[in-house]
């Protein structure tokens, strides 16, 4: 399935694509800054690099096509999931890893 998305996840802020792209670029810059000057462990560095890769991929899509291209779609146990792309998956899974790692290490 081929879908386009001018907003963030599920089309949020699709009425403000210019503001969203500025926010994304600032966020990418902030993550690069953190990675260069504040990152502490290798596992977080790798997770942030994966997030950056996904975020940059979505920004490149926006500059090339004026929208992000979503193409992965599936139905699981009767639930029809929203269409997404590989970059979205990378961002989501790495963020989930960082949150999970933080919860596990705080629980010790």
> Could you state, in order of their start, the residue ranges of all structural domains in the chain?
3-106
- What are the CB-based long-range contacts (under 8 Å, 24+) for 75-81? none
Catalytic residue among 61, 70, 80, 106: 70
| CA nearest neighbour of 97 among 66, 61, 54, 65 | 54
Reading the block at residue 58, the tokens are: 């979505």
Among 61, 80, 88, 106, which one carries the catalytic annotation?
88
pLDDT tens string for the chain (108 positions)? 778 888 777 677 788 888 999 999 999 999 999 999 987 788 899 999 999 999 999 999 999 998 888 888 889 888 988 888 899 899 999 999 999 988 777 655
For residue 107, the model assigns a pLDDT of 55
* pLDDT at site 9: 74
State pTM to two decimals: 0.84
Q: Calculate the dihedral angle through the C-alpha atoms of 16, 19, 23, 25, rounding to the nearest 10 degrees.
A: 110
> Assign residue 46 a region: left if phi > 0, alpha if psi is -120 to 50, beta otherwise?
alpha
Reduced to 3 states, what is the DSSP secondary structure of residue 40? coil
- pLDDT on residue 65: 92
Q: What residues does 84 pair with on adjacent strands?
A: 72
Q: Catalytic residue at 88?
A: yes
């Amino acid at each position: 399935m081929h879908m386009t998305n001018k907003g963030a996840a599920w089309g949020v802020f699709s009425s403000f694509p210019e503001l969203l792209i500025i926010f994304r670029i600032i966020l990418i810059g902030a993550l690069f800054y953190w990675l260069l000057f504040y990152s502490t462990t290798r596992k977080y560095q790798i997770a942030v690099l994966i997030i950056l890769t996904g975020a940059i991929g979505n920004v490149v899509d926006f500059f090339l096509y004026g929208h992000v291209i979503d193409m992965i779609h599936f139905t699981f146990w009767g639930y029809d999931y929203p269409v997404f792309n590989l970059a979205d998956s990378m961002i989501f899974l790495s963020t989930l890893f960082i949150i999970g790692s933080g919860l596990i290490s705080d629980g010790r």
